[in-house]
Amino acid sequence: MLQLLNSDNLSDKQTALQLLGINNDEQLELLEKEFHSRFEDKIELLEKIEASISQIEIGLYGTCAKCDENIEQSILNQHPYAQYCQSCQSEDTH
């Protein structure tokens, strides 16, 4: 049972949850929470990339979302999905 619960295969997890008597709605909720926690950082990165693509499409790529100044090239080279210039990023982290 533990092997099924610890599996990376969602079908195995669902089988284990069914064997434990957990209904479909609860299974879905548990699997969604696990999926979200497992892929949260990847989802966040994809959202940043999508925002950058939107900025490219409207001609605002490389412009700080907070102050409308240009984002430093060194920041864009390191993080092409950056939304803030160095100054605004520093303000948000302090």
Q: What pLDDT, on the 0 to 100 scale, is given for residue 40?
A: 87
Tell me how far CA of residue 22 lies from CA of 6, 31, 37, in angstroms: 16, 12, 20
pLDDT in tens, 49-93: 999 999 999 999 999 999 999 999 999 999 999 999 999 988 876
| Nearest C-alpha neighbor of 84 from the set 69, 64, 60, 68 | 64
Alpha-carbon span 61 to 45, nearest angstrom: 16
Q: Where are the domains of the chain?
A: 1-59, 62-94
- pTM (two decimals): 0.58
| Nearest C-alpha neighbor of 55 from the set 83, 74, 85, 89 | 83
Task: Indicate the SS3 state at residue 75.
Answer: helix
Record the tokens describing residue 64, joined without a space: 């700080």
Compute the residue count for the chain.
94
Record the tokens describing residue 5, joined without a space: 């619960």
Q: Are 76 and 62 in contact (CB under 8 A)?
A: yes
